């Protein structure tokens, strides 16, 4: 069995090999590439004779998938798989697994880092004091008592809910599947948007969630509300959000994800919107999370090789 790690996984090579050795049979051949490339022909050449390919968030289109002639398992070291041509995988009978759960703590941490930065004007305070300034115009807000809305209560959404509750927020949620938690109040999306001071998005990107936060839904939000998106960029209509921010229809936004992976064009509408904090899709990226996902990615291979695949996305 040949296993190809087709792009770097953010873990030191010695540690990565140690994790692989722990999970994989001694007979397995492992090839790890330490450069990220997007050229179709190079990608096909890297995985042409691989039985298993391990990939993170590198897009793999149908041409690349079909070029992996022996591919049987794609272990995606990521939570979302919208960058993978799943139709091509189904066509070839390839099992696709993800690494659900590896970034739960990391993403939730960044939500509150971004939120506190907005609420307490931390970037502006940093600039002011360096310019020999004061707190004038920079008095912020407390989280306690705020109505905190969560769209999507999967693992990450629930982690965010617990942290919001610990901060003393009233927690509201909208989700396809509702959980029985005494202090989480579920309600329709439109009602949540009109009720909450803070709205944090934690839904996957699907046909149903594309531009879920659109011009019409943004118009439902309070003028004092802030929106946080650490989910997927296209869940939000960026132009409509920029317009809402610039027109003062909502108070602020924190955005970690865009329509494409960074680098993002400097002309992106959110880069010129008022009261907006942006980061380069970094929510999942902590040292601890990178190690967690390496363990899960190789455990996916082990479980599949033993005939009991885990974290399977759809059916091959």
Over residues 195-213, the pLDDT tens digits come to 999 999 999 999 999 999 9
Domain housing 161: 104-278
Q: In what order do the strands lie in the sheet with 276-278?
A: 184-186, 170-174, 147-151, 198-201, 226-229, 252-255, 276-278
- pLDDT tens per residue across span 82-126: 899 999 999 999 999 999 999 999 999 999 999 999 999 999 999
Q: Is there a domain that residue 204 lies in?
A: yes
- Residue 65 sits in the same domain as residue 192: no
- Residue 126 sits in the same domain as residue 240: yes
- Residue 257 sits in the same domain as residue 291: no
- Active-site residue identified among 83, 185, 243, 261: 261
* H or E segment and range at residue 116: helix 104-119
| pLDDT at residue 80, rounded to an integer | 87
* Catalytic (active site) residue 261: yes
- Active-site residue identified among 46, 232, 268, 293: 232
Assigned token pair, 258: 């865009």
Share above pLDDT 70 across residues of the chain, in percent, rounded to a whole number: 99
Q: Is there a domain that residue 296 lies in?
A: yes
Residues 125 and 135: their CA atoms lie apart, in Å, by 7
| pLDDT at residue 276, rounded to an integer | 98
Residues 194 and 218: their CA atoms lie apart, in Å, by 9
- Active-site residue identified among 281, 288, 295, 315: 281
Instruction: Give, to the nearest 10 degrees, the angle between helix 122-130 and helix 104-119.
Output: 50
Model-level pTM greater than 0.95? no
Q: Is there a domain that residue 198 lies in?
A: yes
- Residue 169 sits in the same domain as residue 240: yes
- Residue 45 sits in the same domain as residue 180: no
- pLDDT tens per residue across span 242-265: 999 999 999 999 999 999 989 999
- Residue 292 sits in the same domain as residue 180: no
- Residue 251 sits in the same domain as residue 226: yes
* Catalytic (active site) residue 232: yes
Decide: residue 59, CB within 10 A, 0-12 exposed, 13-18 middle, 19+ buried. middle
* Catalytic (active site) residue 272: no
The mean pLDDT of the chain is 97
CATH number of the domain encompassing residue 255: 3.40.50.720
State the pLDDT confidence band at 316, using cuts at 50, 70 and 90: very low
The domain total for the chain is 2
| pLDDT at residue 21, rounded to an integer | 96
- Residue 193 sits in the same domain as residue 258: yes
């Amino acid at each position: 069995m040949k296993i190809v790690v087709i792009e770097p996984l953010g873990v030191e090579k010695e540690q990565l090999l140690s994790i692989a050795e722990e999970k994989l049979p001694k007979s397995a051949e492992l090839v790890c590439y330490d450069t990220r490339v997007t050229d179709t022909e190079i990608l096909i050449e890297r995985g042409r004779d691989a039985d298993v390919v391990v990939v993170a968030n590198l897009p793999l289109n149908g041409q690349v998938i079909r070029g992996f002639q022996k591919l049987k398992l794609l272990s995606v070291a990521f939570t979302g798989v919208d960058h993978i041509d799943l139709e091509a995988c189904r066509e070839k009978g390839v099992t696709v697994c993800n690494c659900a759960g590896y970034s739960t703590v990391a993403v939730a941490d960044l939500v509150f880092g971004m939120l506190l930065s907005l609420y307490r004007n931390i970037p502006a305070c940093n600039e002011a004091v360096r310019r020999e300034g004061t707190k004038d115009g920079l008095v912020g807000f407390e989280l306690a008592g705020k109505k905190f809305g969560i769209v999507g209560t999967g693992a990450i959404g629930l982690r965010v809910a617990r942290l919001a509750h610990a901060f003393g927020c009233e927690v509201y949620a909208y989700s396809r599947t509702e959980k029985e938690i005494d202090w989480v109040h579920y309600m329709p999306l439109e009602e949540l948007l009109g009720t909450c001071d803070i709205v944090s998005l934690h839904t996957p990107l699907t046909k149903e969630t594309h531009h879920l936060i659109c011009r019409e839904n943004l118009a439902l939000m309070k003028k004092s509300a802030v929106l946080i998106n650490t989910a997927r960029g296209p869940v939000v209509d960026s132009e409509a959000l920029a317009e809402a921010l610039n027109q003062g229809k909502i108070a602020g936004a924190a955005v970690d994800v865009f329509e494409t992976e960074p680098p993002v064009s400097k002309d992106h509408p959110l880069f010129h919107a008022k009261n907006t904090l942006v980061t380069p899709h970094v929510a999942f990226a902590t040292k601890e999370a990178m190690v967690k996902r390496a363990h899960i990615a190789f455990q996916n291979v082990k479980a599949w090789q033993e005939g009991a695949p885990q974290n399977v996305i759809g059916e091959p």
